[in-house]
């Protein structure tokens, strides 16, 4: 029987880049919410206004995670891990929500101010199955303690806001002058340009197309968390 792939939330930029919080257990369920914005326009003599689309809101993902070290678990080396302080993982989630002064606001305002880093939610082995996000809220309840008063079980409710709109990256916005049909690829650890080219085009020899589109002078220097533009063939 194959081993279950356990999920994680990884910080993808700033001071905590590549730091990871691995789930003790995958969530039993999660919720995805997506909404669009419409403005009412005059409809003289009508009962319902004409609705004008003004833009989309980011997807919101909400999930509850169980951090529990009261029961034996196997780590990567196959050793039992028991009764560890779950605040080690919880506090790292809170760290991912703090303002990072090495990062700048993306809208150009208050450029001297920092911002919280982007993260990535993932729990499948498929490197495309991930959700770039900001941690909007983290509500933690500690529910079990050992004899020394150390919390060994906690439930964390997370609200994640989508951080990347692939449709608006690299000129895919129809109002921009960029080349239409481009896609976005967020680099994972171990990714190579020839492998990305094979996944996108079915031909690993097309790696030069991606390198040129992203002005990569060293195609071997791919950083985990960076976003590449994938142009059409």
Q: 181 pLDDT exceeds 80?
A: no
Residue with tokens 């079915």: 202
Ordered by start, the domain boundaries in the chain are: 8-164, 167-230
pLDDT tens readout for residues 62-93: 999 999 888 655 555 554 546 789 999 999 99
pLDDT the model gives residue 6: 79
Q: 172 pLDDT exceeds 50?
A: no
User: Which residues sit opposite 156 in a β-bridge?
Assistant: 65, 140
What architecture (CATH level 2) is domain 8-164? Beta Barrel (2.40)
3-class secondary-structure state, position 139: strand
pLDDT tens readout for residues 6-42: 789 999 999 999 999 998 888 888 899 999 888 888 8
Domain 167-230 coded CATH 3.10.350.10: yes
Cα–Cα distances (Å) from 162 to 61, 165, 207, in that order, read: 8, 8, 28
Say what the pTM is.
0.63
Q: Which element (helix H / strand E) includes 87?
A: helix 87-95
For residues 199 and 59, give the distance between their C-alpha atoms in angstroms, rounded to a whole number: 25
């Amino acid at each position: 029987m194959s081993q279950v792939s356990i999920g994680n939330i990884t910080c993808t930029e700033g001071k905590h880049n590549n730091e990871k919080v691995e789930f003790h257990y995958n969530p039993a369920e999660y919720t995805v919410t997506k909404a669009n914005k419409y403005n009412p326009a005059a409809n003289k003599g009508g009962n319902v206004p004409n609705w004008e689309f003004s833009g989309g809101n980011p997807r919101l993902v909400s999930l509850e995670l169980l951090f529990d070290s009261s029961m034996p678990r196997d780590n990567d080396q196959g050793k039992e891990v028991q009764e560890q302080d779950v605040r080690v993982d919880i506090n790292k989630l809170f760290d991912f929500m703090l303002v990072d002064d090495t990062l700048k606001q993306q809208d150009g305002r208050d450029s001297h101010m920092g911002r919280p880093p982007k993260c990535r939610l993932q729990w499948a082995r498929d490197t495309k199955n991930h959700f770039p996000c900001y941690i909007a809220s983290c509500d933690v309840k500690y529910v079990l303690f050992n004899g020394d008063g150390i919390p060994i079980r906690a439930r964390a409710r997370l609200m994640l806001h989508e951080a990347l709109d692939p449709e608006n990256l690299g000129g895919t916005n129809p109002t921009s002058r960029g080349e239409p049909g481009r896609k976005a690829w967020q680099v994972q650890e171990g990714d190579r340009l020839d492998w990305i080219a094979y996944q996108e085009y079915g031909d690993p020899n097309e790696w030069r197309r991606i390198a040129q589109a992203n002005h990569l002078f060293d195609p071997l220097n791919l950083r985990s968390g960076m976003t590449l533009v994938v142009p059409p063939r």
